[in-house]
Amino acid sequence: MQVRQVVTGHDVKGRAVFVQDKLIGGTAIPGLGELVFLWNADEPAIYPDAGENPGAPGVFAPVGGVRFLLTSYSPQSTVAPDLTPEMQAGDEPGMHSTDTTDFGVLLSGNLVLEVDDGAEVTLSPGDVVVQNGTRHRWRVVGNEPAVMAVCIVGAHRR
């Protein structure tokens, strides 16, 4: 999957300018599908800036950090264990939680979101989901990949 990314920033006089307009390719993730990393920062931005992506490592943001990505879930996805730091012994495949608040918009395909007690909701294109650090897993409905735009914000857990 490739996504066009347009980024603004500031010139030396503090005026808004376009600093990037390019295609970003995805990264295949075995057991999941594909991720397109669009913006990765481990701390809040300070403006004015040049509009450069801090490029912080990892899928999940620390407290104060943010990740913005597109996720393409394959119909066979189970969520790769190395991507989900909060899996517990005896978990069903794909069940996990993270210390983040995740804001997602389903762009295409259909996804089932399951939570701890087995309750499920089916998401269709245009639906929005907010994950508040809860244990959950995803399942694609049908034979087509499901693509979701996700903003992940690092959070504290007690």
Helix, strand and coil percent figures for the chain, each rounded to 5: 0, 50, 45
CATH number for the domain harbouring residue 149 = 2.60.120.10
Nearest Cα to 82, choosing from 38, 40, 32, 131? Answer: 32
Structure tokens at 1: 């999957």
In a domain, 17, yes or no: no
- Euclidean distance between CA atoms 152 and 155, whole angstroms: 9
In a domain, 57, yes or no: yes
Residue ranges of the alpha helices (H) in 3-152? none
Contact in structure between 46 and 38 (CB atoms under 8 Å): no
Q: In what order do the strands lie in the sheet with 33-41?
A: 27-29, 33-41, 66-73, 146-154, 100-108, 128-132
| pLDDT tens figures, 44-102 | 999 999 999 998 998 889 999 999 999 999 988 765 555 555 656 566 777 888 899 99
How many domains, the chain?
A: 1
Q: Which domain holds residue 51?
A: 28-154
**Matching residue, tokens 């943001």:** 61
In a domain, 8, yes or no: no
The model's pTM: 0.86
